[in-house]
Amino acid sequence: MNISSRTKGLVIILLSSIPFLLFAQGEDEDWRERMKLLTYTPRYFGPNAFPISELRSGRIGTRWELELRGEYHYYPGDKTSDLFARLFIPIAHGKAGVEIAGVITENYETTEATKLERRAAETKPPFRCYGDVLIHSFYQVLRSDRWCDLMVSANLKTASGSRLADARYTDAASYWFDLTAGRNLLQNADGSAALRVQGLLGFYCWMTNDLVHRQNDALLYGFGMSAKLHHVSLSADYSGFYGYKNNGDHPVTLRTKFEYEIKKNIISVRFKHGMYDNLYDSYSLAYIRCF
């Protein structure tokens, strides 16, 4: 039987491509196996995977707020930038409220050492990366200038984020509940100047990939102070949560925020210093429009 030279060439090409196909299959299987070894804690994921609850004043606002924020997160093994959006909707003149937020897009570059430590697949996003949708609900339990303000919140982090393979966002939901108390230490008659203290205590829970212990439970806490003088406000707080597994689940952040408001337009500048299992220092600039 005669075989043409063209057919022989095709056979040779197919045979020579088999090793490459087997290698690619092995790489794919290796990537999927590494995903099983990911550690679902703040220390071994990106800066937005496990949000630490925002320490608020204890008093729900009465204005709609629409925020767009640019953020930059850094530690020697990871450089991340993202665009964050937030919408707050007050209910019944501040007796309750709902907030929807999340990272619209995220870009990152990790070192090979960080990639290996986290068992990630890539050091850079092969395509667009986006974050989880966060849903917060608030209820005003007590509003008192004489005593204090008390607010409870229920919060959900959905599993809508991308790039689990790169340890950026988990494929599991998180939820947390907290009680925030706030009180003015000093305030002038018209409320244009004030010094305030606030604290938070709650419960934080997230699902993991551990087949034995499917979830991690943590104590959520925070305390801080804020000051206001006419159109300028400044706040600082120390917040975090403490998981029970002790596998990178003790993140803490020291946050400072400066805001300037004019005619319902707010410019907000933030700095967050990560501590313990929060490895990142973060810088952000935001524009907030109130309605």
pLDDT digit string (tens) for 165-194?
999 999 999 999 999 999 999 999 888 999
Q: Is the pLDDT of residue 6 over 90?
A: no
Q: Is the pLDDT of residue 20 over 70?
A: no
Determine the pLDDT at residue 81. Answer: 98
Spacing of C-alpha 192 from chain mean position: 32
Domains and their CATH numbers in the chain: 36-290 (2.40.160.40)
Q: What percent of the chain has pLDDT over 90?
A: 83
Task: Show the tokens assigned to 11.
Answer: 């056979």
Q: Look up tokens 């090409």; give the residue.
A: 13
Determine the pLDDT at residue 26. Answer: 43
Secondary-structure percent of the chain, ordered helix, strand, coil, rounded to 5: 15, 50, 35
Q: Is the pLDDT of residue 223 over 90?
A: yes
Q: Is the pLDDT of residue 21 over 80?
A: no
Determine the pLDDT at residue 213. Answer: 84
User: Distance between CA 66 and CA 89 in Å, rounded?
Assistant: 9
Q: Is the pLDDT of residue 9 over 60?
A: no
Determine the pLDDT at residue 28. Answer: 46
Among 29-33, 41-45, 157-161, 270-274, the least confident range: 29-33
HSE, side-chain direction, 13 A CA sphere, residue 82 = 24
pLDDT digit string (tens) for 80-119?
999 999 999 999 999 999 999 999 999 999 999 999 999 9
Q: Is the pLDDT of residue 25 over 50?
A: no
For all residues of the chain together, what is the average pLDDT? Answer: 91
Which whole-number Å values give the CA distances from 169 to 33, 44, 50, 130, in the listed order? 17, 10, 8, 9
Q: Are 72 and 56 in contact (CB under 8 A)?
A: no
Q: Is the pLDDT of residue 18 over 60?
A: no
Determine the pLDDT at residue 4. Answer: 58
The per-residue b/e assignment along 4-33, b for 16 or more CB within 10 angstroms, e otherwise, is eeeeeeeeeeeeeeeeeeeeeeeeeeeeee
Element (H, E) at 255: strand 251-262
Determine the pLDDT at residue 184. Answer: 96
Determine the pLDDT at residue 63. Answer: 97
pLDDT digit string (tens) for 266-288?
999 999 999 999 999 999 999 99
Determine the pLDDT at residue 191. Answer: 85
